[in-house]
C-alpha cells in the first residue's frame, strides 16, 4: 500500500529561504515517481518579521510543480495565531486560523494506509491539530518528520534557539507529546547566532549540508530549471506558467548557478520511503543501513516550554527517533548527488 505525505512548509514569495523550494521539488519528485501520494501542502502564515516584509504563501511555486508533474495538489494556509496550551482558546479560533489544523486532521481521516507528515517550518498548525484530536494522531499517523531544533547531546552546548523553533516554541515543545512516531531531525548540532553558514561544517546530530547550485541545476530538465530560476530569482510576476512553457529562453542567471544553497530536510524524504544514501550518493534500500551516510537512532526526548530539547538513548520500544550523520566527510556530497538523481524524475 502506497504511503501518503502531507508536507508543511514556510514556502513564501519572495522567499525567506529558498531551501523550501528545493524541498518541495523533492516531495513532488517522490510523488511523480510513484513512491508516495502527496496528500497536501500546508504553508505557514507569513511571520511578523520586519526583516522579511511583504511575504505571501507561494501558491505559484506549488502550481508550477503541480503542472509539471500532472499532480493536482490540495493546499492550505496556516494560522496567524500562535499555538497555546489552552484547548478552549484553540477551539475558539476563527475559521481561517483553524483551516491549517483542520486540513491536517482531514488528511489523517482520509488516509487508509501509512500517513506521514513532514514539518519544515513552524509546528503551529500541527500542535493545534494534535491538541484538538490527539486520538486521530495515535490511530492514523505513521510518523512525523520534524525538521527543527539543535541536537547536541549536551544541552549546554546546543547554543541559541534554532529558527523553526523560534517561530512558535510552545508548538515545537508540544509536538514531542503527540502520540505517534516522531523522527526528530535537528537542523544543527550546535547553533551559533553569529556564525557564517559558508564556514559551517557537517555535524553528527544535525541535518545541515551545503551544495553549489550549479552541481544540481545543470543536471535537471529544462522545465525544472525554469521552476528554480523563477523561485531563486524571487520573481513576483503573476505569469508563472510562461517560463515553464518556454524553458529554453529562461536560463538560470550567473548568480543563481554560482550561489550555494544551505539544506536540511533531504534525508527525511528518502527515509520516509524506506530509502537511504550511500557514500557515493547512490540511493539504496534502507535495509542496507550499514552503507548509509545517515540514519535514525531510538531516543527518549524532553523539551521545555522554551524549545530547549534534551535527549538520551532509548530502547527498541521507543517511538522517538533522532537523526544521525554516520559519515560526516561524505554526507554533503552524497546528499547532493542523491537529490539530483531524485529531481531527475521531474521532466
Q: Above 80 in pLDDT, residue 254?
A: no
Q: Above 80 in pLDDT, residue 195?
A: no
Per-residue confidence (pLDDT) for residue 243, from 0 to 100: 86
CB burial string 201-218: b at 16+ within 10 A, e below: ebbebbbbbbbebebbbe
Per-residue confidence (pLDDT) for residue 249, from 0 to 100: 59
Q: Above 70 in pLDDT, residue 236?
A: yes
pLDDT digits (tens, 9 = 90+) for 81-113: 999 888 888 889 999 999 999 999 999 999 999
Return the percentage of the chain with pLDDT > 90, whole number.
80
Per-residue confidence (pLDDT) for residue 198, from 0 to 100: 73
Distances (CA, A) of 320 to 146, 176, 192, 294: 11, 8, 26, 16
Per-residue confidence (pLDDT) for residue 91, from 0 to 100: 83
Q: What is the CATH number of domain 3-343?
A: 3.90.245.10
Phi, psi angle pair for 346, to nearest 5°: -100, 110
Q: How confident is the model at residue 187 (pLDDT cuts 50, 70, 90)?
A: very high
Mean pLDDT of 167-183: 97
Taken in order 219, 224, 226, 229, is the CA torsion positive or negative? negative
Per-residue confidence (pLDDT) for residue 251, from 0 to 100: 57
Greatest alpha-carbon pair distance for the chain in Å reads 56
Which candidate, 258, 271, 255, places its Cα nearest to that of 335?
Answer: 271
Sequence-separated (6 or more) residues with CB below 8 Å from residue 102: 129
Per-residue confidence (pLDDT) for residue 17, from 0 to 100: 85
Q: How confident is the model at residue 248 (pLDDT cuts 50, 70, 90)?
A: low
Per-residue confidence (pLDDT) for residue 51, from 0 to 100: 80
Q: Check residue 147 and give left, alpha or beta (phi > 0: left; psi -120 to 50: alpha).
A: beta
Per-residue confidence (pLDDT) for residue 246, from 0 to 100: 82
Q: What is the mean pLDDT of the chain?
A: 94
pLDDT digits (tens, 9 = 90+) for 1-17: 789 999 999 999 988 88
Q: Above 60 in pLDDT, residue 298?
A: yes
pLDDT digits (tens, 9 = 90+) for 124-154: 999 999 999 999 999 999 999 999 999 999 9
pLDDT digits (tens, 9 = 90+) for 198-211: 789 999 999 999 99
Per-residue confidence (pLDDT) for residue 252, from 0 to 100: 63
CA atoms within 13 A on the CB side of 333: 6
Per-residue confidence (pLDDT) for residue 114, from 0 to 100: 94
pLDDT digits (tens, 9 = 90+) for 22-64: 999 999 999 999 999 999 999 999 998 888 788 999 999 999 9
Question: Domain limits of the chain?
Answer: 3-343
Amino acid at each position: 500500500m502506497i504511503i501518503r505525505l502531507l508536507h508543511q512548509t514556510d514556502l513564501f514569495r519572495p522567499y525567506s529561504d529558498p531551501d523550501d523550494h528545493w524541498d518541495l521539488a523533492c516531495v513532488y519528485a517522490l510523488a511523480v515517481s510513484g513512491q508516495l501520494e502527496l496528500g497536501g501542502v500546508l504553508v505557514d502564515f507569513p511571520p511578523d518579521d520586519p526583516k522579511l516584509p511583504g511575504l505571501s504563501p507561494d501558491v505559484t511555486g506549488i502550481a508550477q510543480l503541480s503542472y509539471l508533474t500532472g499532480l493536482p495538489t490540495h493546499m492550505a494556509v496556516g494560522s496567524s495565531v500562535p499555538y497555546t496550551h489552552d484547548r478552549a482558546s484553540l477551539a475558539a479560533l476563527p475559521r481561517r486560523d483553524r483551516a491549517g489544523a483542520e486540513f491536517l486532521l482531514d488528511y489523517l481521516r482520509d488516509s487508509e494506509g501509512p500517513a506521514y507528515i513532514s514539518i519544515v517550518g513552524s509546528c503551529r498548525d500541527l500542535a493545534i491539530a494534535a491538541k484538538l484530536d490527539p486520538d486521530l494522531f495515535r490511530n492514523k499517523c505513521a510518523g512525523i518528520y520534524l525538521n527543527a531544533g539543535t541536537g547536541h547531546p549536551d544541552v549546554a552546548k546546543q547554543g541559541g534557539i534554532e529558527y523553526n523553533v523560534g517561530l512558535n516554541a510552545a508548538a515545537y515543545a508540544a509536538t514531542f507529546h503527540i502520540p505517534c512516531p516522531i523522527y526528530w531531525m535537528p537542523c544543527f548540532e550546535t547553533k551559533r547566532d553569529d556564525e557564517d553558514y559558508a564556514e559551517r561544517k557537517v555535524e553528527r546530530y544535525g541535518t545541515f549540508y551545503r551544495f553549489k547550485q550549479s552541481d544540481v541545476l545543470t543536471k535537471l530538465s529544462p522545465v525544472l530549471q525554469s521552476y528554480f530560476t523563477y523561485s531563486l530569482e524571487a520573481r513576483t510576476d503573476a505569469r508563472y506558467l510562461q517560463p515553464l512553457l518556454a524553458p529554453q529562453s529562461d536560463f538560470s542567471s550567473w548568480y543563481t548557478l554560482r550561489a550555494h544553497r544551505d539544506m536540511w530536510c533531504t534525508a527525511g524524504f528518502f527515509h520516509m520511503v524506506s530509502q537511504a544514501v550511500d557514500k557515493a550518493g547512490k540511493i539504496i534500500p534502507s535495509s542496507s543501513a550499514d552503507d548509509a551516510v545517515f540514519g535514525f537512532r531510538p531516543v527518549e526526548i524532553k523539551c521545555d516550554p522554551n524549545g530547549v530539547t534534551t535527549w538520551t538513548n532509548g530502547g527498541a520500544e521507543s517511538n522517538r527517533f533522532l537523526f544521525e550523520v554516520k559519515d560526516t566527510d561524505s554526507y554533503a556530497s552524497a546528499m547532493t548527488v542523491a537529490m539530483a538523481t531524485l529531481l531527475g524524475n521531474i521532466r
